[in-house]
Amino acid sequence: MKHICKAIRPIVCMLLAIILCAGVIPAAGAAEPSIVIEPIALNNLDFIRGMDVSSVIALEKSGVVFKNEKGNKEDIFKILADNGVNYIRVRVWNDPYNAGGNGYGGGNNDVNTAALIGRRAAKYGMKLLVDFHYSDFWADPGKQKAPKAWAGMTMEEKTDALYAFTATSLKTIRDAGADIGMVQIGNETTMGIAGENSWYNMAQLYNAGSQAVRGFDPDVLVAIHYTNPENSYIKTLADFLHDYNVDYDVFATSYYPCWHGSLSNLTQVLNYTAQTYGKYTMVAETSYPYTLADSDGHPNTIGEWNNNSGENMLWDFSPQGQANEVRAVMNAVNEVESCKGLGVFYWEGAWITVGDVTGLGGKQYQSRVVLNQNIWEKFGSGWAASYCGEYDPDDGGKWYGGSAVDNQAFFAPDGTALPSLRVFADVLPEGSYRLGDADDSGEIDVIDVTCIGRYCANMPMDIPEDILLHGDVDGDGRLTVIDATWIQRHLANMEVGFPIGIWKQRIPKE
């Protein structure tokens, strides 16, 4: 550490000069909030406030630009981290391409795409959940088709193939720079996995995947993912995992309020697994519309005419309602006994339109939709491209098209973050802050550097000292120009020995 301090001394001097010449420092705290979220007494600050953004690379290739709430273009992974997201989920398909090399769509999420997403998430301090589908395209309760390359294999061969694919994929993703914290062995495997639906074979495949994860890194959590917590069969599945000696850590379920029962039932189901089998639990997928309007010309899962009512669709279709749903689901998981509720992942919170059709009619609407269709086909940014037909003829091959969840994203059709995205930070307990955030703006930026510099130079500031001390990144209890330098290095993507940007809890003064 010492030699680094010496090495940065010239930078410190230069920095001071910049700081002292800097302009006005904004007052602490944000403007009047447009949504209001009550904090949750979370079990710990590592409670997973996760987001699946698997389609984001395909969207960017399609020309989509993401902006923060102020409308400034930024890396979407920075925007997510600045709003409290601490974990990214990404799906992996073995080979989502046809013989001609054309992608099946849905983000064309192969291993290399997952690696790219993992690396960008890690850059902003977010861990990665790798969600293996063990299929070449969507796997869910309705379909669990094995990858093309595994067709005709015996169980023994398939078990070996699943083990090898898991091990090599994880290595590729971590070598790219991702911080893998958890791995899902299969996606929504309620009725089977990789073409197998007998419990004996399912258990064998789960354990092959689990064994690959254990060998890769014993600290990485292994999750099994089911659906339909409203159906008591999910408890039978928890019993099955125990009876067949499946080695796993986290019992995960999807929770979509239009289909999956009440939140009190969700807590009760997760409690069952936590109490009976001592497992961690979580919600691997949830989402909620902020509007019923479509913006890309492809019908949405929840819209004006479908899935928008029912006793568990409790919240308004507005950014406030969307944020309320996320808070409520997090609260339901946080209530799982013995701190066994790990957290919640929001599903595809960035899957917005590649071309806004809002307000268009007649021919204008039609021609924009045709343009969008061409983009979805070319870049795989819709839920399915026609090229998936050879592998998935009865579903994607028939109904291919755009995003079915653009109205459930946290970004408006033009890519600007909605105020509801702030729920991921706003649920944190009172007194939470980000290490390095000396002006309490929620972002780590050059203004923090300037604040610290002015404080060190005894210049007038209207930010209270206990807030300014969030900038004490080296944790020596004092705010010095060394702290400012560390933040400067962090902003320049240079090596820093402290986790700048992570959320911490302020201990109230007696």
Determine, following the binding rule CB under 5 A, whether residue 368 of this chain makes contact with Ca ion. Answer: no
Q: Is the Cβ of residue 296 or residue 443 nearer to Ca ion in the bound state?
A: 296
Hey, what are 269's tokens?
A: 């189901």
SS3 252: strand
- Total chain residues near Ca ion (CB under 5 A): 6
* Six-digit token string for 347: 């599903």
Q: Which of residues 399-428 bind Ca ion (CB under 5 A)?
A: 403, 406
Does 69 qualify as catalytic in the annotation? Answer: no
Q: What is d(CA 441, CA 443) in angstroms, rounded to the nearest whole number?
A: 5
Largest CA distance in the chain: 74
Identify whether the C-beta of residue 376 lies closer than 8 Å to the C-beta of residue 382.
Answer: yes
Whole-number minimum distance, CB 32 to Ca ion, in Å?
32
Nearer to Ca ion, 186 or 382 (CB): 382
- For the question of residue 285 being annotated catalytic, the response is yes
Closer of 52 and 294 to Ca ion (Cβ): 294
Residue of 69, 196, 285, 325 with catalytic role? 285
Stretch that binds Ca ion, among 83-91, 123-131, 338-346, 397-405 (CB under 5 A): 397-405
- DSSP strand pairing (250-254 vs 341-346): unpaired
* Interaction between residue 300 and Ca ion (CB under 5 A): yes
Catalytic residue of the set 32, 38, 157, 188 = 188
Comparison of 110 and 296: residue with beta carbon closer to Ca ion: 296
Distance CA 349, CA 381 (A): 14
Binding segment (CB under 5 A) for Ca ion, from list 124-132, 286-294, 336-344, 416-424: 286-294
Least CB distance from residue 382 to Ca ion, whole Å?
9
The residue (of 96 and 382) whose beta carbon lies closer to Ca ion is 382
Residue 356 binding Ca ion, by CB under 5 A: no
The stretch among 318-326, 369-377, 398-406, 476-484 that binds Ca ion (CB under 5 A) is 398-406
Using CB under 5 A, pick the residue from 82, 188, 196, 294 that binds Ca ion.
294
**Interface with Ca ion, residue 298, by CB under 5 A:** yes
Q: How far is the CB of 255 from Ca ion (least distance, A)?
A: 22
Which amino acid is located at 192 in the chain?
A: G
Q: Determine the 3-state secondary structure of 374 from DSSP.
A: helix
Is residue 158 part of the contact set for Ca ion (CB under 5 A)?
no
Q: Which is nearer to Ca ion, 84 or 402 (CB)?
A: 402
Task: Output DSSP code: residue 286.
Answer: -
- Residue 301 or 480: the one with the smaller Cβ distance to Ca ion is 301
296 binding Ca ion? (CB under 5 A): yes
In the complex, what is the shortest distance from the CB of residue 417 to Ca ion, in angstroms, rounded to a whole number?
A: 19
| Positive or negative torsion for Cα 306, 359, 350, 41 | negative
CB of 402 to Ca ion, least distance (A): 5
Q: Which residue has the tokens 């009865």?
A: 394
Spatial contact of 229 and 198, defined as CB atoms under 8 Å apart: no
CB of 451: closest distance to Ca ion in angstroms?
43
CB-CB contact of 392 with 93 (8 Å): no
3-state secondary structure 236-276: HHHHHHHHCCCCCCEEEEECCCCCCCCHHHHHHHHHHHHHH
Per CB under 5 A, does 450 bind Ca ion? no
Do residues 332 and 263 touch, judged by C-beta distance below 8 A?
yes
Structure tokens at 318: 């507005």
**Residues in CB range of 91: below 8 A, 6 or more apart:** 52, 54, 107, 109, 114, 131, 132, 133, 187
The length of the chain is 510
> Could you give the 3-state DSSP secondary structure of residue 183?
strand
Just list the catalytic residues. 188, 285
Interface ranges with Ca ion (CB under 5 A): 294, 296, 298, 300, 403, 406
